[in-house]
Amino acid sequence: MRVLMATPRFHPDIGGVENHVQEVSKRLVKNGANVTVVTTDVSQRYPAREFVGGVEVLRTPARPQSKDWLFSPELYHIVRDGRWDLVHVQSYHTCVAPLAMLGALRSRRPYVLTFHGGGHSSVLRNRVRSFQWRALRPLVRRAGRLVALAKFEVELYGRAFGLGPEAFAVIPNGSDFPEGPEANPVETDHDLVVSIGRLEKYKGHHRVIGALPALLSVRPHARVLILGSGPYESKLRDVSERLGVADRVEIRAIPPADRKAMAHAIARAAIVVLMSQYETHPLAALEALALGRSLLVAATSGLAEVAKAGNGRMIALECTDRELAAAIADQLDHPAIPREVTLPTWDDCADRIQTLYLDILEARQGGVTNVNW
């Protein structure tokens, strides 16, 4: 079976979508599929064609170079002219999605769309999201199935595109995190507050730093550790300096592949605080819970879904710095011990996606499939 995955960016670029495509595609190859990934390379620094973990990767030029619109006519032609059994479009935020869906439609190939919905630091991009949904609606409604990473997305995108729940499959991301205290034998630091995620404004790390002065008035030994990297780092350091808490804030990047180091860093936390404006399937929250960490999250998107399931506490995204500090202090003094959490695996994720592909092709062929894996 020949599967084409169309994604805005791919390894060695780092990000949630990039990691998802890499983990799923290599497992599908292991299961016997012939998987090709087509992606863009604005910088044109990477090979135009190579194999990564048994997966063929095709990179196409895109423009403009100064924006993340990723308009690539060459990608459209690869989707349209290739002899694919099925096209899987990953993420809808750039021009890659409409080009790939249109190419599949023109070649009469079935296609699947995984939203990978998320926030953005650009106020303009967030404001035009509803217009983007309207423009994509004719193409999205023609998809063989829409994949949501969390349950709340079914209702959100169902309203946006006028579709019922039967159009969706909920398939969460996987994790390869070393779970439990046995795998992470480190001592808890009872004054350590950890915030996790790429250093972008919408991730809300600055909110945790902003709460630190008020927190220090009741917890004088409190410290904040921010785990991540990204373009907002200098602004976070500026906020720390302006508030006079730079000596209490550490910003550290851990290589994505070093899952053990990340697990140990999180396991030391007294509390993990995630104040992101938007998270679809918040693996950072689930991984913190799997390590037995107390959790405080913003009452929004997938973070709220985790808290409403009885895992951790939530606070209004619009709360003041003092309100956030009070919530953190209360949880430091009276930790909410999470119930046992079992993380989904990437094997589970890939197996469910494989089953979805076969279901779509069987339905397309009238209940009979000649696909060999």
Full set of structural domains in the chain with CATH: 2-174+346-364 (3.40.50.2000), 180-333 (3.40.50.2000)
Per-residue burial over 82-105, b if 16 or more Cβ lie within 10 Å, else e, is bebbbbbbbbbbbbbbbbbbbbbb
Find the range with the poorest average confidence among 8-22, 90-104, 225-239, 347-361: 8-22
State the pLDDT confidence band at 183, using cuts at 50, 70 and 90.
Answer: low
Give residue 335's pLDDT. Answer: 87
Task: Tell me the percentage of the chain whose pLDDT exceeds 70.
Answer: 93
Query: Is the pLDDT confidence value at 339 over 90?
Result: no
Scan for tokens 């679809």, then name that residue: 280
State the pLDDT confidence band at 191, using cuts at 50, 70 and 90.
Answer: very high
Sheet arrangement for strand 34-40: 49-52, 55-60, 34-40, 2-6, 86-90, 111-114, 145-148, 168-170
Query: Is the pLDDT confidence value at 350 over 90?
Result: yes
CA-nearest of 329, 313, 295, 326 to 222 is 329
Average pLDDT, the chain: 91
Evaluate the omega torsion of the peptide bond into residue 12 and state whether it is cis, within 30 degrees of 0: yes
Phi-psi sector, 290: left (phi>0), alpha (psi -120 to 50), beta: alpha
Q: How do residues 83-133 score in pLDDT, each as one tens digit?
A: 999 999 999 999 999 999 999 999 999 999 999 976 554 555 556 678 889
CA-nearest of 62, 142, 65 to 107 is 142
In 3-state terms, what secondary structure has residue 276?
Answer: coil
Evaluate the omega torsion of the peptide bond into residue 64 and state whether it is cis, within 30 degrees of 0: yes
Give residue 186's pLDDT. Answer: 82
Give residue 231's pLDDT. Answer: 92
Q: What is the mean pLDDT of residues 201-209?
A: 96
**CA–CA separation, 293 and 248 (whole Å):** 21
User: Which two structure tokens, joined as six digits, stand for 39?
Assistant: 């992606």
**CA–CA separation, 191 and 50 (whole Å):** 47
Q: How do residues 26-72 score in pLDDT, each as one tens digit?
A: 999 999 999 999 999 998 899 999 999 899 999 999 999 888 899 99
Query: Is the pLDDT confidence value at 82 over 70?
Result: yes
Query: Is the pLDDT confidence value at 340 over 80?
Result: no
Give residue 128's pLDDT. Answer: 67
State the pLDDT confidence band at 73, using cuts at 50, 70 and 90.
Answer: very high
The pairing of beta strand 111-114 with beta strand 86-90: parallel
Q: What is the mean pLDDT of residues 131-145?
A: 95
Q: What is the mean pLDDT of residues 238-244?
A: 98
- Cβ 91 vs Cβ 100: under 8 Å: no
CA angle (161, 62, 100) in 5-degree steps = 35
Q: How do residues 259-277 score in pLDDT, each as one tens digit?
A: 889 999 999 999 999 999 9
Scan for tokens 């292991």, then name that residue: 30
Q: How do residues 278-330 score in pLDDT, each as one tens digit?
A: 888 888 898 898 888 999 999 998 999 889 888 889 999 999 999 999 999 99
Give residue 371's pLDDT. Answer: 42
In 3-state terms, what secondary structure has residue 59?
Answer: strand
State the pLDDT confidence band at 370, using cuts at 50, 70 and 90.
Answer: very low
Q: How do residues 165-182 score in pLDDT, each as one tens digit?
A: 999 999 999 988 776 555
